[in-house]
């Protein structure tokens, strides 16, 4: 068999292993090892697996992942998210649909100090959903706005998704983190506009809340807002100004989160240990996936399958944007069944050579990938974030999926805007590094 055919067979067997519920990282590692042995020989395969796992996990760049996760978990257990929602509610709750808009704003701030969506969904779910129900909001609007706004943690830095994408594609972590900032703000504005349109069409979906005085508005900002701004300026500001690297930013951010939580008297020993344990478990899961991905990438490289795909598609007179549309469809399907980390790690080894071969900017594509995965975790049948929110609130899955539909449309609209105007994603990286 040709090396390319071996690559195709290997990917097909790997998908079968996924459906058989084998661990994704283990399946990628096994296929990578066996496929490499078939093409290059068993001694070469053993030499590879004796080096790749350690050299991959021992990477200095990877140490940013547990640091960002720890920072987010410290913020989660210290209940700063409650303060963020209260502040957003005081400023926006008096408008029609204002509580849903406040949820989007609070999730955007929360995203600026976490790297994953689960803490935002659990925190905002226990605060925002009861408040919106009390004010007679429809469950579809309240849950749809929350579950989709919670995914902003993937896009707005610090983002674990961008870190993993950067490591797998050998791109700059700093550049990718900065690239997600403006698209994240754009997506938040789109979500707010969608809420505005929904309550204009159906006023009963989001009645206005109580008016608050300017004193109440200003007083509400003394809680979580200052902590969020301090951490945001420490992490993203330090990276933007070139004061420290992303890994150093993660360490400073984690330490800053601990100090802030202690100063606010919200961090007990039990909460700290819980945050540390959860961070360790999540980090180990991600590291195992990355190790498996690197073994799979070695196999795909010697199979020359990615390069064959590039040559085959470029040989046909197909627009690069038509191919991009196919990739969008692929991610929508994958996102229904896989979590964000697994989806990125699984597909990037194959798709990245294709994208760069078609002339797309790799940093811009990283932003598109993250938005697509955001869509995947809120779409049926297995939208992971929908299950998280349903478990936290007891609201039926069907209600949340229905509520997410308009906001998924907003994500597609955001991708279209970024495709037409890629400089939205590339402006800050270009300003920083003159790309």
Kindly give the residue spans of alpha helices, DSSP state H, lying in 80-234: 80-92, 98-111, 118-134, 139-150, 152-155, 160-169, 173-179, 181-201, 214-220, 224-232
> Are the CB atoms for 289 and 23 separated by under 8 Å?
no
Nearest of 91, 90, 182, 89 to residue 142 by alpha carbon = 89
Give, rounded to a whole angstrom, the gap between the first and last alpha carbons of the chain: 43
Q: Is the peptide bond before 381 cis (omega within 30 degrees of 0)?
A: yes
Per-residue model confidence (pLDDT) at position 296: 86
> Are the CB atoms for 61 and 175 separated by under 8 Å?
no
- The neighbour count for residue 301, using CB atoms within 10 Å, is 15
Consecutive H or E run containing 281: helix 269-303
Nearest of 189, 196, 110 to residue 154 by alpha carbon = 110
**Which residues fall within 8 angstroms of residue 331, CB to CB, at 6 or more apart?**
343, 347, 369, 372, 373, 375, 376
Helix (H, G, I), strand (E, B) or coil at 20: coil
Kindly give the residue spans of alpha helices, DSSP state H, lying in 316-422: 320-337, 340-357, 362-376, 384-393, 397-420
Burial 17-35, CB ≥16 within 10 A → b, else e: bbeeeebbbebbbbbbbbb
Q: What are phi and psi of 421, to 5 degrees?
A: -125, 75
Residues 353-357: contacts with CB within 8 Å, 24+ apart? 353/306, 353/307, 353/309, 353/310, 354/306, 354/309, 354/310, 354/313, 354/323, 354/327, 355/327, 357/310, 357/314
Per-residue model confidence (pLDDT) at position 59: 77
**Which residues fall within 8 angstroms of residue 140, CB to CB, at 6 or more apart?**
205, 399, 402, 403
Consecutive H or E run containing 244: none
C-alpha–C-alpha distance, residues 214 and 216, integer Å: 5
C-alpha–C-alpha distance, residues 140 and 265, integer Å: 36
C-alpha–C-alpha distance, residues 137 and 97, integer Å: 8
C-alpha–C-alpha distance, residues 286 and 160, integer Å: 10
> Are the CB atoms for 252 and 70 separated by under 8 Å?
no
pLDDT tens per residue across all 435 residues of the chain: 788 889 889 888 988 887 787 887 888 899 999 999 999 999 998 888 888 888 878 877 788 888 888 888 888 788 777 777 778 878 887 888 998 998 898 888 877 777 677 777 777 777 788 888 888 899 999 999 999 998 888 888 888 888 888 888 888 888 998 899 999 999 999 999 999 999 999 999 988 877 888 788 877 777 667 777 788 888 878 877 778 888 888 888 889 889 988 988 888 999 999 989 988 988 888 888 888 888 888 888 888 877 777 677 667 777 888 888 888 887 777 766 665 566 677 778 778 888 888 889 999 999 998 898 888 888 876 677 888 888 878 889 889 999 999 999 999 999 999 999 999 999 988 887 665
Q: Tokens representing 326?
A: 């196919």
Per-residue model confidence (pLDDT) at position 57: 80
Q: What are phi and psi of 378, to 5 degrees?
A: -125, 10
Nearest of 116, 146, 121, 391 to residue 281 by alpha carbon = 116
Per-residue model confidence (pLDDT) at position 223: 64
C-alpha–C-alpha distance, residues 120 and 99, integer Å: 16
Helix (H, G, I), strand (E, B) or coil at 236: helix
Q: Tokens representing 85?
A: 């929602």
Helices 269-303 and 340-357 sit at what angle, rounded to 10 degrees? 40
């Amino acid at each position: 068999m040709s090396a390319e055919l071996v690559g195709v067979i290997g990917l097909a067997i790997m998908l079968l292993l996924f459906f058989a519920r084998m661990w994704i990282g283990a399946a990628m590692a096994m296929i990578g090892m066996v496929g490499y042995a078939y093409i290059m020989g068993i001694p070469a395969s053993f030499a590879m697996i004796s080096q790749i796992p350690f050299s991959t996990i021992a990477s200095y760049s990877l140490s940013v992942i547990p640091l960002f996760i720890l920072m987010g978990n410290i913020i989660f257990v210290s209940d700063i998210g409650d303060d963020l929602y209260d502040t957003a509610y005081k400023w926006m709750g008096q408008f029609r649909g204002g509580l849903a808009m406040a949820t989007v704003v609070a999730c955007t701030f929360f995203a600026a100090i976490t790297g994953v969506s689960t803490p935002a969904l659990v925190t905002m779910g226990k605060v925002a959903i009861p408040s919106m129900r009390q004010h007679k909001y429809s469950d579809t609007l309240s849950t749809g706005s929350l579950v989709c706004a919670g995914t902003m943690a993937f896009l707005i830095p610090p983002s674990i998704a961008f870190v993993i994408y950067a490591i797998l594609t050998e791109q700059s972590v700093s550049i990718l983190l900065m690239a997600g900032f403006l698209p994240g703000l754009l997506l938040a504005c789109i979500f707010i506009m969608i809420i505005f349109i929904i309550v204009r069409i159906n006023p009963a979906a989001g009645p206005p809340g109580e008016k608050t005085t300017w004193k109440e508005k200003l007083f509400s900002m003394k809680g979580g807002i200052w902590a969020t701004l301090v951490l945001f300026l420490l992490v993203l500001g330090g990276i933007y100004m070139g004061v420290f690297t992303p890994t150093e930013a993660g360490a400073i951010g984690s330490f800053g989160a601990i100090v802030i939580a202690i100063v606010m008297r919200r961090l007990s020993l039990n909460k700290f240990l819980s945050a540390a344990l959860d961070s360790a478990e999540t980090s180990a899961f991600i590291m195992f996936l990355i190790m498996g991905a690197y073994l799979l990438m070695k196999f795909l490289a010697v199979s020359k399958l990615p390069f064959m795909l590039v040559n085959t598609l470029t040989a046909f007179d197909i627009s690069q944007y038509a191919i991009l549309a196919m990739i969008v469809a692929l991610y929508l399907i994958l996102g229904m069944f896989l979590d964000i980390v697994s989806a990125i790690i699984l597909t990037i080894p194959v798709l990245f050579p294709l994208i760069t071969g078609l002339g797309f900017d790799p940093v811009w594509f990283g932003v598109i990938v993250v938005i697509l995965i955001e869509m995947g975790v809120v779409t049926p049948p297995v939208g992971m974030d929908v299950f998280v929110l349903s478990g936290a609130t007891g609201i039926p899955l069907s209600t949340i999926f229905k509520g997410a539909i308009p906001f998924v449309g907003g994500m597609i609209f955001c991708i279209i805007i970024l495709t037409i105007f890629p400089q939205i994603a590339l402006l800050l990286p270009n300003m920083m590094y003159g790309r």
